[in-house]
Amino acid sequence: MSELYLYERELVIPPEEYVRVHHTLAREFVYEIFAAAGLRDDDAHIVADVLVTADLMGISSHGIQRVRRYVDGLLRCCVNPRPDIRVVRDCGATALIDADNGLGHIAGVKAMEIAVEKAERYGVSLVLVKNSHHYGIAGYYSLKAVEKELIGISTTNSEKLVAYVNTVTKSLGTNPIAVGIPRKTPPPILFDSATAVIPVGKIEIYSKLGKTVPEGWVIDSEGRMLSGEASKVLSEIRSGKASILPLGGLGEEFGGHKGSGLAFIVDIISGVLSGAAWGLHVRYTVDTAPANVGHAFAAIDIDAFMSKEEFYQRIESYISEIKSLKKHPSADRIWIPGEKAWYTMMTRLKVGIPVHVKLCDELNSIAGNMGLGRRLC
């Protein structure tokens, strides 16, 4: 693509309410916050990179707007800033990691590194993590495998936010699934999706921006659609009076049973099998006890099945077939999973990350309260 692809669809309010922040500055600023919160130097860099990468890819729901949530957990309760992350079971192509109640980003990077090493030795691997916390965007870890020319898979469970199909109370996390597949030339294929209609971070962003939640995302405790001012909807969700709908929406007509079924399976692999909490038992980061989130990471060595060159040729043939299909009249173009995020990242690496002024004020306040003498914007 010769021109920059400005995929900035979240900027639906006047652009003067945003400032552009260079990605290097954002990483340094966020790193300093987490270092001040007690993380080891390398760990603070990991968390900063995960968050800023999310913003670069246009996934602002999981970007630097999450800083307060993580800092509150580190300073108030109940996240371990200096965890002893260790392998507690190791059996050939599989492993189980205890994250020692640290941030999920740190455990996630370590777990995928082990998954890659095992896949290179055995062809495939599966590494599970227990006693962890929220780990940001699932696709970040899948792409770590892609960097080594392996297929990467990443899933996690999370705090209860979603109503299981045909119920009206929160019982499931938004439980994302991410699969990264390398190509000979970028962008790689990256499917990264929550198993709910939206992640809660989307509603958090809307709340910060003073936007409204549309009908179809959330139901109240009586099963009625809940829409309107995002801050009020978020408050209802947090208080247990409302739930996010599973992927597919309400009931089974449009596939709500498929979304909640996928979330259920993610919870079994990430939570039940790992020894972590599941569903109703996963806690919020700043609750009164550890969250005990569970993750799962897998890697596949392409060379175990065919040469990489053959695989890359077959992938490109498949992509070309999809791209040559007749386009819907209302569509701008035919996209492969991960393309929009990739071109958004390429754009923002050049022009900066759009950060809303309210988020700038929040982050500046956090830094100031921690005794840091700098501002993000």
pLDDT digits (tens, 9 = 90+) for 81-90: 999 999 999 9
- Res 2: pLDDT: 36
CA atoms within 13 A on the CB side of 360: 15
Average pLDDT, the chain: 94
Q: Name the DSSP class of 254.
A: T
CATH number at residue 309: 3.30.1370.60
Question: Domain range holding 108?
Answer: 85-195+253-324
Distance CA 78, CA 285 (A): 7
Are residues 108 and 43 part of one domain? no
Count of structural domains, the chain? 3
Residue 36 lies in a domain: yes
Helix or strand holding residue 127 (H, E): strand 124-132
Question: Does residue 337 form part of some domain?
Answer: no
Which residues 6+ apart lie within 8 Å of 329 measured at CB?
none
List the structure tokens of 41. 């130097």
Q: Express each pLDDT in 56-68 by its tens digit.
A: 999 998 999 999 9
Work out the angle at residue 345's Cα, subtended by the Cα atoms of residues 366 and 146, and round it to the nearest 5 degrees. 105
Residue 176 falls inside a structural domain: yes
* Amino acid, single-letter form, for residue 250: L
Q: Are residues 166 and 113 in the same domain?
A: yes
What is the Cα–Cα distance from 293 to 272, expressed in whole angstroms?
10
φ/ψ (deg, to 5) at 216: 115, -10
Together in a domain, 185 and 203 = no
The total of other beta-carbon atoms located within 10 Å of residue 268's CB is 16
pLDDT at 11 over 70: no
Does 212 reside within a domain?
Answer: yes
In a domain, 343, yes or no: no
Q: Domain ends where: 244, 277, 309?
A: 244
Alpha-carbon distance of 185 to 323, in angstroms, equals 16
In this structure, the answer to whether residues 187 and 294 fall within a common structural domain is yes
266 contacts 177 by C-beta, under 8 angstroms: yes
> Domain check: are 301 and 286 in the same one?
yes
pLDDT tens column, 192-246? 999 999 999 899 889 988 899 999 999 999 999 999 999 999 999 999 999 999 9
What's residue 12's pLDDT?
A: 47
Q: What is the pLDDT of residue 288?
A: 74
Q: Which of 193, 287, 304, 206 is nearest to 247 (CA)?
A: 193
Domain boundary among 244, 262, 277: 244
Q: Does residue 66 sit in the same domain as residue 90?
A: no
The CA distance from 165 to 316, in Å, is 38
Q: Residue 100 domain-assigned? A: yes
Task: Mark residue 356 as left, alpha or beta (left: phi above 0; alpha: psi -120 to 50; beta: remaining).
Answer: beta
Give the end of a domain, one of 209, 225, 244.
244
Same domain, 180 and 214: no
| Residues 155 and 237: beta-carbon distance below 8 Å | no
Q: Tokens 């599989």, residue?
A: 94
In this structure, are 177 and 316 located in the same domain?
A: yes
- Residues 105 and 186 reside in one and the same domain: yes
Q: What is the rounded distance in angstroms from the CA atom of residue 225 to the CA atom of residue 235? A: 15
Q: What's the CATH code of the domain at 2?
A: 1.10.1530.10
Give yes or no for residue 350 having a pLDDT over 80.
Answer: yes
Q: Which residue in 64, 57, 304, 5 sits closest to 188, CA to CA?
A: 57
Residues 150 and 34 in one domain: no
Confidence of residue 40 (pLDDT cuts 50, 70, 90): very high
Q: Please indicate, yes or no, if residue 331 is contained in any of the structural domains.
A: no
Rounded to two decimals, the pTM is: 0.94
176 shares a domain with 119: yes
Report yes or no on 3 lying in a domain. yes
Q: Are residues 48 and 104 in the same domain?
A: no
Q: Judge contact between 56 and 143, C-beta under 8 A.
A: no
